[in-house]
Structure 1
Amino acid sequence: MASEKKDGYRKNFSLILTFIVLMSVLFLLSLGLAYRFSTKYIENEFVSEKVNVLEESIKAYNDFFQKKLPEVSYYNGYLDSATAASFVDTVLLEYPFVSKVVFYDSEVSNAPVSDGLNIGRFSFGPKNIYQFGSLVPLDSVQLFSRNNTRNFIVGDDFNTLGLKLVSYIEGLDTTRVPGQDELFSNFSIVRSNKITYLNIPRMEDLKVYKKMMRSRLAANPVYQQDMLSFQLDPYKIKIKNTRPLLYQYIKIEPLTYDPLDTTEVYLSTEITLPGPFSDYKLYFISSKSFIEKEVFSYFLPIAVAILLFYSIVVLVAFLIYRNLNINQKMFKLQYDFVNNLTHEFKTPVSVIKIAGNNIKSAAALTDRELKMYGKILDEEADKLNGLMNKLLAFTQIENKAIALNRDEIKMLDFLESTVESHRLKHPDFDFSYEVSGFTTFVTDPVLLGSLFDNLAENAYKYSPAERKKLHISARLIKGKVVFRFTDQGIGIPASEINNIFKKFFRIQNQYNQNGSVGLGLAFCKELVNFMKGEITVRSKVNKGTEFKIVLPYND
């Protein structure tokens, strides 16, 4: 039977160990896959997140293009050098990437102009041209006037947008109202590092412009048209790195910029800037060691989740393994209990049966034989009765099926009575006892007697023949009654101290070869708990054991 239990233990252990090894391999594989996934994810993020960086970085440009430029039209062509300078100052302050602004104070008329465009009867030319910027000298603000050209050529910006204006007027459908997007695209030119914008005329003015192209108008009208050319510096765009843990360096470079091959050490990507900056790009570069930090920060929560899952699985495996072992131990304890209990019952029953047969078969019995058989029957019946009472009492106490009686006893008399009964039973048992600090004690005398009897029987049973001694002390200490049972027996190994109060547990030694149910100390523990006390033990192998019981005093 022992061999089968050992084999079962090994089988359970092998299965659990195999399971844990497989789970460990799966755990390591999962970590590897998770790290690889994290690396690929961050590398994809490195490529895709550049769009967000671009959007954040050009927000100021989009605001300038969509909101600030259209403000020129609010002046309806009546900007002068002073108001233009004030307007440009706000632009330069809010948008650092605007380096210089050229202002064309222009007019449309039926009279031909020497500088500008003359298409049929339609004329478009500048009256004055100014330039504004932080690096423009004060004496160079005015570039052109009709009275003093300073040898300045009106230039391609003015002429190109003027031609665009003429083309739009020629094809204008006066029966419909054009949309804002249509007007904006036809009254502006976006070139590399430059945006030229003409204030958008009213629809009534555009209709007049169309008439002016075909004939001279009697009123000879003149209309003010303002044009501004914004020169932009892409290197002044403020880069907003929305992923500082992903992108180590971001810079603006020409589209033709092509660094040396650094793919072994660095990761890089790029994205073209929009509109007038289309000849430039945002260039992103990070060292692989820098990227690994971001990979690890992404990988760490996944690894923790995997580790938590693995820990739960291992814990479940451990609990299953522990429960299997507990079940095996319980099965062994129950098996031993049944065997020992059978033995304990079988021995007195056999003796009683033999004595009964001898009495029945004898023709006549002497007085000596009658007394001998009577004593045998009485003792064996007492053993059976005691065993049954212990089992019954244990079950009742464990299930709290009995009530605690409270009677006052004289402690010294109680000890004398207990000691005397054991001396009669075991004449070779050397008893000593003492009481100090109190004389009476309110308790359940039956339960206390059972407690004393079990500890005394244990002391006798587990002591060598030459050291069958027991000293019982009863003291009142700090409002508690403290009993100590000190013997000189074989002692209890330190490894077994925590198990001796468990049901059906028996220490394997020569004193247990004749069988023991394993309920004695468990019964004592239940008794003490039922009496709201505590029981502890100290022991040294081959030196002796001391049981200490603390009970409430007259509560």
Structure 2
Amino acid sequence: MALDKKSGYRKNFTLGITFITLISILFVLSLFLAFNYSKKSIENDFVSEKVNVLEQSIKPYNDFFQNKMPEVSYYNGFLDSSTAAKFVDTVMLKYPFVSKVVFYDTEVKNAAVKDGVNANHLGIGPKAIYQFGKGISPDSVKLYSEEDTRSFNVGSDFNAMAIKLATFVESLDTTSVPSQEALFTNFSIVNSNDNKITYLNIPRREDLKTYKDMIKRKLDPAPVYQQDILVFNLDANRIKIVNTRPLLYQSIRVEPLTYDPIDTSEEKITTEIALPGAFSNFKIYLVSSKSYIKKEIFIYFMPIALVLLLVYGVLLLVAFLIYRNLNINSKMFKLQYDFVNNLTHEFKTPVSVIKIAGNNIKSATSLSQKELNLYGKILDEEADKLNGLMNKLLAFTQIENKAINLNQEEVNIVDFIESTIESHTLKHPDFKMTYEVVGFKTFITDPVLLGSLYDNLAENAYKYSNPGNKKLHISAKLIKGVLVFRFADKGIGIPSSELNNIFKKFFRIQNEYNQMGSVGLGLAFCKELVNFMQGEISVRSKVGVGTEFKIVLPYNS
């Protein structure tokens, strides 16, 4: 019957395979869900990220509208053509979407104006009109001056701002102070149809009160008040688009709000967002092909996949470690099981022989001297076997736990080896043992431990050799300051697959020589002895040829 059935120790391979299959299915499912999540996330980003594109692209316009344009008010209406030209140059250099600026050098007086807006006794009209911009020739800069006798239409932009000023002044509550936001709103006009922003420098509070009086009644024509009106012509196509997600948006451009593409291929994904303010008739149009989007999906997906792969790898590693531990435990269990069985057998044989001999002596009416000597020899030999087995187990445990001390005595190596050979050839007459010693005669060591080492290796050489070929050659050499002992036999050899296991406790090679029982401690005991003596042990073997054990010990003379 197999060991696992007798002992009850089983390894459930089906459970292991089920576990691996389950985590593999979960891994594949997780990858599928992660990819779909990545795809949905990128598709959502494609729609939502356009807000960031808009914010970054329109940032210069907001800076122009909120910070640069109000600088006109710092001049308090006293801008002249040259100062206005310099101001426009700085604007067009920093804000390329400003294509042209028309400057109205404006007068507000308590008299009717020929060109402009009159509100009762309040007259608002241009003293001169200039235009600045790229491509405007120097002779076209000045459009109008009050000295011109020809009729000139000042334009709807000027009139709209003049009317707005007159309306604001007429409804002005002189007892309260309007906020800067209210003033800015009332003195600027955003015309999204023509992509223009008209701005009038904010008059001082005292000037606004005077303007209100001018509407109500006739005043002294002097003084004449100066105001500056600038009309900024904007070009939406000159807005610098900032692509905040270049791996997401393949193409971004400004299109009219009514733009409807002719190409509606399903291979392309589009989204759009309207521009604000003076550009509200335009939109930012974002386009990407599905193949282009897939790259971003995989960039998003790969870190998630790597994390899932790492988790999957950890789970597989855990499964492997559990399986390995179960396998090791199974082997250890089998080794211990064999050890107990073999140890029981080793004890049972001499105990049975002792019991039989004792019963024979007890039941015999009389024994001859020869019979007494025979039974005495049997009892003595079997008692020695039990004592040797107990001593080996005890010594192994003591050495393993370092519970004994290493004795230091001078040993004559030739006498030591010859004593070992004499002992084993006396015990096994068919055992042929030879030796050689090179480079030294004596050294300091523990003779008891060294004797145990020699005895174990000699017994192994005899036990695992075929009848008629039981030979062992022992060499002892001093090489480069260390002692090298070699035990070379002509035995059955050790399979290469088993060489890494022979020094393990309770391990036994399965062959016909171990059928009668072996505790599996001999070579493990040798290794512990060598380690305790601060040396090294190694083996090389070839099946059918023989085995050689090499022991290296420190040389203490």
TM-score range, shorter chain: over 0.9
Residue 111 of structure 2 contacts residue 221 of structure 2 at CA under 8 Å; is this kept in 1?
A: no
Q: Deviations over 1:163-208 (max 9, x none)?
A: 1111111111111000111111111110121100001101111111
DSSP 3-state at the match of 1:450 = helix
**Aligned: 1:93 with 2:93:** yes
1:73 matched to which residue of 2? 73
Residue 534 of structure 2 contacts residue 553 of structure 2 at CA under 8 Å; is this kept in 1?
A: yes
Whole-Å Cα distance in 1 between the matches of residues 4 and 502 of structure 2?
25
DSSP 3-state at the match of 1:365 = coil
Whole-Å Cα distance in 1 between the matches of residues 515 and 47 of structure 2?
79
**Aligned: 1:55 with 2:32:** no
Q: Deviations over 1:113-148 (max 9, x none)?
A: 110011110100001000011111111001011122
Q: Deviations over 1:247-301 (max 9, x none)?
A: 1111111112222354521221111111001111111111222211111111111
What's the CA shift for 1:4?
A: 3.0
Higher mean C-alpha displacement, 316-325 vs 423-432: 316-325
What's the CA shift for 1:10?
A: 7.2
Whole-Å Cα distance in 1 between the matches of residues 215 and 8 of structure 2?
109
2:249 matched to which residue of 1? 247
**Aligned: 1:478 with 2:488:** no
What's the CA shift for 1:337?
A: 0.8
Q: Quick one: structure 1 residues 5 and 323, their matched pair in 2 at CA, closer, same or farther if it must change by over 3 Å?
A: farther
Q: Quick one: structure 1 residues 483 and 260, their matched pair in 2 at CA, closer, same or farther if it must change by over 3 Å?
A: farther
**Aligned: 1:348 with 2:355:** no
Higher mean C-alpha displacement, 336-345 vs 352-361: 352-361
1:214 matched to which residue of 2? 216
1:542 matched to which residue of 2? 544
Residue 459 of structure 1 contacts residue 487 of structure 1 at CA under 8 Å; is this kept in 2?
A: yes
1:514 matched to which residue of 2? 516
Q: Quick one: structure 1 residues 434 and 351, their matched pair in 2 at CA, closer, same or farther if it must change by over 3 Å?
A: same
Whole-Å Cα distance in 2 between the matches of residues 427 and 152 of structure 1?
142
Alignment RMSD: 1.5
Q: Quick one: structure 1 residues 150 and 405, their matched pair in 2 at CA, closer, same or farther if it must change by over 3 Å?
A: farther
2:381 matched to which residue of 1? 379
Whole-Å Cα distance in 1 between the matches of residues 284 and 510 of structure 2?
82
What's the CA shift for 1:363?
A: 2.1
Residue 270 of structure 2 contacts residue 285 of structure 2 at CA under 8 Å; is this kept in 1?
A: yes
Q: Quick one: structure 1 residues 172 and 280, their matched pair in 2 at CA, closer, same or farther if it must change by over 3 Å?
A: same
Q: Quick one: structure 1 residues 149 and 451, their matched pair in 2 at CA, closer, same or farther if it must change by over 3 Å?
A: farther
Residue 109 of structure 2 contacts residue 221 of structure 2 at CA under 8 Å; is this kept in 1?
A: no
Q: Quick one: structure 1 residues 215 and 397, their matched pair in 2 at CA, closer, same or farther if it must change by over 3 Å?
A: same
DSSP 3-state at the match of 2:231 = strand
Whole-Å Cα distance in 1 between the matches of residues 362 and 7 of structure 2?
50
Whole-Å Cα distance in 2 between the matches of residues 405 and 211 of structure 1?
125
2:400 matched to which residue of 1? 398
Higher mean C-alpha displacement, 212-221 vs 80-89: 212-221
**Aligned: 1:450 with 2:460:** no
Letter in 2 for 1:181: E
- Pairing 1:130-169 to 2, within 5 Å after superposition: 130-148=130-148, 152-169=152-169
Q: Quick one: structure 1 residues 6 and 351, their matched pair in 2 at CA, closer, same or farther if it must change by over 3 Å?
A: closer
Whole-Å Cα distance in 1 between the matches of residues 454 and 149 of structure 2?
128
1:336 matched to which residue of 2? 338
What's the CA shift for 1:307?
A: 1.1
Whole-Å Cα distance in 1 between the matches of residues 275 and 5 of structure 2?
78
Aligned length: 555
Letter in 1 for 2:53: V
DSSP 3-state at the match of 1:502 = coil
Whole-Å Cα distance in 2 between the matches of residues 149 and 293 of structure 1?
68
DSSP 3-state at the match of 2:286 = strand
What's the CA shift for 1:376?
A: 0.9
What's the CA shift for 1:364?
A: 2.1
Whole-Å Cα distance in 2 between the matches of residues 257 and 438 of structure 1?
104
**Aligned: 1:224 with 2:226:** yes
Whole-Å Cα distance in 2 between the matches of residues 304 and 6 of structure 1?
46
5+ residue gaps, structure 1, are none
Whole-Å Cα distance in 1 between the matches of residues 553 and 299 of structure 2?
59
What's the CA shift for 1:552?
A: 0.9
5+ residue gaps, structure 2, are none
Aligned sequence identity (%): 72
DSSP 3-state at the match of 1:467 = coil
Q: Deviations over 1:454-506 (max 9, x none)?
A: 01111111111021111111111111111111111111111111111111111
DSSP 3-state at the match of 2:198 = strand
DSSP 3-state at the match of 2:332 = helix
Q: Deviations over 1:376-395 (max 9, x none)?
A: 11111110010000000000
2:326 matched to which residue of 1? 324
Residue 268 of structure 1 contacts residue 284 of structure 1 at CA under 8 Å; is this kept in 2?
A: yes
Letter in 2 for 1:500: I
Letter in 2 for 1:225: Q
DSSP 3-state at the match of 1:475 = strand
1:40 matched to which residue of 2? 40
What's the CA shift for 1:158?
A: 0.4
Residue 11 of structure 2 contacts residue 326 of structure 2 at CA under 8 Å; is this kept in 1?
A: no
1:388 matched to which residue of 2? 390
Letter in 1 for 2:292: F
Letter in 2 for 1:342: T
DSSP 3-state at the match of 2:468 = helix
Residue 398 of structure 1 contacts residue 526 of structure 1 at CA under 8 Å; is this kept in 2?
A: yes
Whole-Å Cα distance in 2 between the matches of residues 135 and 6 of structure 1?
103
- Pairing 1:5-44 to 2, within 5 Å after superposition: 11-44=11-44
Q: Deviations over 1:45-88 (max 9, x none)?
A: 11111111111111111111011111111111111111111111
